Chains A and B, each alone.
Chain A
Amino acid sequence: MHKDLFALMRAERTVRVHLAVTMTAAVLTGLLVLVQAELLAGALSGRFGAAALAALAAVVAVRALLAWAQGVFAGRTATAVKSALRHRLLARLRDLGPARLAAHRSGELVTLTGRGLDGLDDYLTGYLPSIAVAAVVPVAVVVRLFAADLASAVIVLVTLPLIPIFGALVGMTTKAVTERQFTALSRLGGHFLDVVRGLPTLRAFGRARYQATVIREIADAHRSATMRTLRVAFLSSLVLELCASLSVALVAVPIGLRLLGGSLDLTTALLVLLLAPEAYLPLRAMGTRFHASMEGIAAADAAFAVLDSPGGEEPAPAVKPLARGAGEGSAPAAEAPAWGGGAPELRLEHVTVRYPGRDEPALEDVSLTIAPGERVALVGESGGGKSTLLSLLLGFVRPSAGRVLVDGVDLRELDLAQWRARLAFVAQRPHLFAASVADNIRLGTPAASSEDVRRAAAAADAGFVADLPQGFDTVLGERGANLSAGQRQRVALARAFCRPGTSVLLLDEPTARLDGRSEAAVVAATERLARDRTAVVVAHRPAMIHLADRVIRLHAGRVITDTTPNGTAGHAWALTETVAGEGCGA
């Protein structure tokens, strides 16, 4: 039994109800087999008349109905549990936020939250009901046997525990064998995928055809290794089956002899013969179900590992007007949008940012003041801390030490949602959603009219949208796959334009990987967007840097130069020449 999963099921009312119905139906179905055996024995021995057959038909109708109900409610239980778990995972994904999500393997998270949870189906619809049946039905059968025929009942009662005992014994030995072989097996089993994935590389070195023979050899090795484990694994069910059928034989033979001697009537004999296997069946079924549900248990483990992983504390203190009295008197201004709405001043005071699991800080003791309306270009090699500085201003990461102040107010004490509403932000690789272009543009302002959207697109120089098959209603492929990099960048800029009342512009290398023409369009749009806003732009290309009033160079998390050229290309150029003269150190 999975502890976390069980806690989750207890917490969800619908799950509790559905699971209860499923289990009850399963147990009742099991118990009806007793009634069915009773009636069948009576009918066959001729003790009951035709009425027994009618009753039998009725019992069967009820059993079928119960089986149906069990199937339906098991399905509901499974979907409800998966939904509950999925909702928690989804909320968790949101709460982790961009900075910490980057630390996870995103592909695995997507698979786990989507298809991965389907592995729970077997556990929920098969294994759990089988536990209930195994707990109730054998007991009922033994009780009925005691009432019918003491000798048979005793034999069943004595042999019954052999099933779980043998099951556990065989299970333990097979487990050891399987575990010994597991690494080899998964290695051999994964070989084909490995080769297929590496096919382009094999082709480049003329080894593709040669690998066909290797594939055959490995497949053979895989097969014989698998068969070695299967020989042992199937042995367990052989032992259990033999155990059960020999026990039945143990019951049947004395019955035959006693019938022969006339000390037992036919009805009882038939009843015992029909009932005895039913005592062993649920236990064997439970074992089989358990093996089938291993994948689901692994999925549950993975899901709870994500849910229980550290670092989800962040989004809770969303609104915190007067928190932290010790905060050097900066608190009072934090009510509502305190900064009037004009371009704010941004200040970093001795900010250090450390990411978990990394020795070097991403930013170290950075102090900066960016005046209202100033346009700052952040330059420097990748990994120098530029993107971290943007994440800091966006509230995706918090300083490990030091403070970020917006018009003198600590960012920690602002309502993040309200603060972000003032930001026009374009990520390095903006994510476009599989929705219409218009909906992508109005991401931050769902209420924007189509006129607003058109105006924003025009401002972002996204004229190409009109040429798409359905214009602004064109639905984009996953991640905007049907647009070029430059077009995606301009849709993202239009997104920023479409947000009214923004006073801060944050851009992350908007022209990286663009060709000359797209770059010119993006630069022009960026210039318009930077007007009347405090702008912080991570830039690589000269055209973008020329827009700035001020160029800040970051290296290894520190500001190494902070210069204010007068905006001409010559100056910016000369500046880098002098900087390049400095030693670069570690």
Chain B
Amino acid sequence: MTRRMGVRLVWAVLAGAAADLAGLGLVAAAAWLITRAAEQPPLAALSVAIVATRAFATSKGVFRYAERLTGHDVALRAQAGTRERLYDALVAPQQPRHGGADLLSRMVDDTEAVQDLLVRCLLPAVAAAMAGLAAVVIGLTILPVAALVLLAGLVVAGVLLPAGAAAAARRWSARLAPARAALAGRVADLVHGSADLAAYGADGEALARAREADEALAALERRQARVHAAALAGGILAQVLTVVAVVLLAQAGGAGSVGTAVLALTSLVAFEPVLPLAAAGERLAGVTAALRRLREVRAAVPAVAEPAAPAPRPDGPLTIEVDNLVVSHPPATTTAAGQEQGALDGAPQNGQQGHHRRQQQRRVVLDGVSLRLTPGRRVAVVGPSGAGKSTLLAALMRLVEPESGAVRVNGVDIRALAGDDVRALMTGLTQDPYIFRASVRDNLRLAGPEADDETLHRAVRDARLEEWVERTGWDAELGEDGRTVSGGQLQRLALARALLYDPPVLLLDEPAEALDEETADRLTADLLDVTRGRTTLLVTHRLKGLERVDEVIVLEEGRVVQRGHHDELVSVPGYYRDLWESEALTRR
């Protein structure tokens, strides 16, 4: 946290404390005023108290307002800082994570925990402590014994109860999280498995199981509510029992009616800011869990190691050599079904087990792949899904660390280059291209911030996106997740980006995916026109048009099973011919 943030935080705390103190002062002054007035002194004796009462009454609201504003300002700044740090940690290529998009949005939600920590936990706690302290000091001036009793009561309500609530909340969330995950899983079964369930007459059973999961969760929530209610009741008891004890002591200690009234009402009001701390304690359990998850993300080792002193970026025409490359991945999910949930809940013991298991069960994705891309050469990689095609591209883009073998650019191992430099040389249309919530133009410009309109238009034309862009408009806002963009248009937008970026080596991962047959054919044809004479690595599952590339490599289970020109491959039996025939069969 920066110094200026610290200063702002102090102001927020002071404002909060001032508001609570004004509340306390209001009641103390009013109590004194009234009981003293009952003794019928001259009016002048009361004038200070009257002014004080009015001042406290108005200033309380103003201080509260100031506290809330400065507090939220600090919290938003702190959240922005957390996000920046999280982003810095995420910029380096990451190991694939379980949970994908859900996990990302959860991570982003977690950064709001910092806001909660400040606004809902820290500020109220400090303000309550200062108000409590002030009440105790007032008490000390009247009757020290009573002040000590008040202090004890405040500690019970402000420290012990919140601590207990936090501990209980931690315990309950450890049980609630799996119950929630179980319910989500049952609901997902009902939605995603709808066809299987209906066809096998098992939908009634699945519905019953989802209801059971709901009952189990409801039972836990009811018990959690009991704990919450007990904390609430405990706070009230502590408050009023303290007041009763204070009054008893004051009357026994001869504090007089004015002293007794001030003591009693001050005690009563001192609890007002303290009682909500039990709820803050419950919230704190969630906040600390979120902060722990964020720390784990920040501590995660990047997928690839950056060289300490990167070699200069190779220049001129590039020759890419992939030499006996072996890449293995941690399995997408390990055999323990609960592990994914464990990882999501961030339960530390689960996380460690998972880590352990992952190391044991690395899955070989690329198993000794070699290929050579000389300037201007076009190579296509085909094969069934899971054969390692996309991993090959990820290795070229330096997003995954090879286990053995190497990728060399003009003889330089890419491990010696800065990751960003590698991706400046080799990039293009990657898997799952993302459309940002921005205009069409900005979504394209991302790949060419300095591109002029002419270049922009050419890229759009080459990607056969022209008609769509003219219809949609260059400045049209694309929706969240690119929702207003169909699968085919998304793919073409991504292709336009790749062409705009114009890297020395163009990588294309399934450019025709999700396009209808006719468009896919036209796109493939245009693509092969545009990339003529350009060093290109094309990953595809469609074979039409591949007679135009220089070499086709067939990957299966991480190994090159066939390679050669299209004409050679269709003339011999094997995967390629099978696929060619089936494609011809389904085509009309």
- Given the known inter-chain contacts A86-B214, A94-B203, A421-B201, please indicate yes or no for A203 contacting B93, CB distance below 8 A: yes
Which of B50, B257, B261 has the largest number of chain A CB atoms within 10 A? B261
| Minimum CB–CB distance for B267 against chain A, Å | 11
Report the separation of the CA atoms of residues A394 and B203 in the bound assembly, to the nearest whole angstrom.
Answer: 14
| Minimum CB–CB distance for A550 against chain B, Å | 15
| Contacting pair B188 A478 (CB below 8 A) | yes
| Contacting pair B185 A434 (CB below 8 A) | yes
Residues of B within 8 A of A269 (CB): 34, 37-38
Which of A101, A212, A542 has the largest number of chain B CB atoms within 10 A? A542
Which of A98, A380, A576 has the largest number of chain B CB atoms within 10 A? A98
Query: Which of B147-155, B332-340, B345-353 is found at the contact surface with chain A?
Result: B332-340
Report the separation of the CA atoms of residues A200 and B334 in the bound assembly, to the nearest whole angstrom.
Answer: 24
| Contacting pair B582 A215 (CB below 8 A) | no
- Proximity bits, A398-416, B CB within 8 Å = 1, else 0: 0000000000000000000
| Minimum CB–CB distance for A346 against chain B, Å | 16
Of the candidates B83, B111, B232, B247, which one forms a contact with A71 in the assembled complex, judged by CB atoms under 8 Å apart?
B232
Report the separation of the CA atoms of residues A86 and B210 in the bound assembly, to the nearest whole angstrom.
Answer: 9
Please list 9 pairs of residues, one from A and one from B, whose beta carbons are closer than 8 Å in the complex, sorted by A's number.
A87-B214, A93-B191, A94-B194, A110-B187, A201-B434, A205-B447, A431-B197, A516-B384, A542-B581
Which of B230, B384, B578 has the largest number of chain A CB atoms within 10 A? B384
| Contacting pair B244 A53 (CB below 8 A) | yes
| Contacting pair A196 B385 (CB below 8 A) | no
Q: Is B300 an interface residue, CB under 8 A from the partner? A: no
Report the separation of the CA atoms of residues A365 and B562 in the bound assembly, to the nearest whole angstrom.
Answer: 45
- Given the known inter-chain contacts A46-B257, A115-B180, A234-B65, please indicate yes or no for A248 contacting B57, CB distance below 8 A: yes
Interface residues on A, range: 35 or more
Residues of A within 8 A of B337 (CB): 434, 475-478
Report the separation of the CA atoms of residues A270 and B36 in the bound assembly, to the nearest whole angstrom.
Answer: 12
| Contacting pair B180 A114 (CB below 8 A) | yes
- Proximity bits, A100-143, B CB within 8 Å = 1, else 0: 01000010011101110000000001000000000000000000
Q: Is A350 an interface residue, CB under 8 A from the partner? A: no
Known: A80-B218, A222-B80. 20 other contacts (CB 8 A): A44-B247, A57-B244, A61-B237, A63-B240, A71-B232, A72-B222, A90-B210, A94-B203, A194-B436, A200-B432, A201-B494, A230-B68, A241-B60, A256-B33, A420-B198, A444-B201, A482-B331, A542-B582, A580-B587, A584-B588
Residues of A within 8 A of B80 (CB): 216, 219-220, 222-223
| Contacting pair B87 A215 (CB below 8 A) | yes
- Given the known inter-chain contacts A40-B264, A115-B180, A242-B58, please indicate yes or no for A206 contacting B424, CB distance below 8 A: yes
Where chain A touches its partner, the secondary structure class is helix
Residue of B nearest to A71 (CB): B229
Of the candidates B101, B200, B229, which one forms a contact with A67 in the assembled complex, judged by CB atoms under 8 Å apart?
B229
Report the separation of the CA atoms of residues A201 and B578 in the bound assembly, to the nearest whole angstrom.
Answer: 34
- Proximity bits, B207-246, A CB within 8 Å = 1, else 0: 1001100110010011011101110111011011101100
Q: Is A187 an interface residue, CB under 8 A from the partner? A: yes
Query: Which of B70-78, B137-145, B401-409, B530-538 is found at the contact surface with chain A?
Result: B70-78
| Contacting pair B30 A252 (CB below 8 A) | yes
Residue of B nearest to A109 (CB): B191
Q: Which 4 A-B pairs have the closest CB atoms?
A: A75-B225, A71-B229, A431-B193, A444-B200
Report the separation of the CA atoms of residues A491 and B556 in the bound assembly, to the nearest whole angstrom.
Answer: 22
Q: Is A190 an interface residue, CB under 8 A from the partner? A: yes
Residue of B nearest to A79 (CB): B218
| Contacting pair A199 B65 (CB below 8 A) | no
| Contacting pair B34 A515 (CB below 8 A) | no
- Proximity bits, A229-243, B CB within 8 Å = 1, else 0: 011001101100110
Report the separation of the CA atoms of residues A365 and B399 in the bound assembly, to the nearest whole angstrom.
Answer: 52
